[in-house]
Amino acid sequence: MFYIFISILAGVSVVVSRIINSNLAKIIGIFQGTFFNYVIGLIFSLMFLFISKETIQISNVKPHSIPSWAYLGGLVGVLVVVLSSYVTPKISAFYLTLLIFIGQLFFGIIIDFLTLEKLSLGKIIGGILVLLGLIYNLMLDKKQELP
């Protein structure tokens, strides 16, 4: 039960952080807001590392054993924060949550396919159903806006 609660908090933190980043971007700028997002994230990550008393053994990691595309994670993260800071004020929190969920789901499916060479039919069908629900809801909202 504890892990389910932590998972829910992690999902909520994604949406809340996007809203906070968007508000910060309005005040100090998108790239400066992204910088502080990463600095605060680093500070909290280090705090959790020290609290957990885990050890990091970098000596066991051999740089040539890590695929070169894995080093793009930071760049992709920066792009996600910059884009979401730009897009968040333009759409509702509901649509933001759904778009983040759909993006994570489909990108996870792509990563699973590229790394594990497996496709999860259930995840694909679930993602398509959520996407169809989002499109349907957008169409209903458009009809209500028309005079």
**Chain center to CA of 129:** 20
Let me know if 56 is exposed, middle or buried by CB neighbors in 10 A (0-12, 13-18, 19+). Answer: exposed
Q: What is the pTM (predicted TM-score) of this model?
A: 0.69
Q: Which amino acid is at 2?
A: F
Looking at residue 47, its pLDDT comes to: 92
Looking at residue 100, its pLDDT comes to: 79
Cβ atoms of 105 and 126 closer than 8 Å: yes
Looking at residue 29, its pLDDT comes to: 92
Looking at residue 49, its pLDDT comes to: 87
Q: Which amino acid is at 31?
A: F
Let me know how long the chain is: 147
Per-residue pLDDT of the chain (147 residues; tens, 9 = 90+): 888 988 888 888 887 888 888 899 999 999 999 999 899 989 998 998 889 888 777 777 777 777 887 888 889 889 988 988 888 888 887 787 788 788 888 888 898 888 888 888 888 898 889 889 888 888 888 777 766
| The two structure tokens encoding residue 74 | 């930071």
Q: How far apart are CA 127 and CA 132, in angstroms?
A: 9
Looking at residue 31, its pLDDT comes to: 92
Percent of the chain that is helix, strand, coil (3-state, to 5): 85, 0, 15
Spatial neighbors of 124 by CB under 8 A, at least 6 apart, are: 109
Classified as helix, coil or strand, 107 is: helix
Q: How many distinct structural domains can be found in the chain?
A: 1
Owning domain of residue 63? 2-145
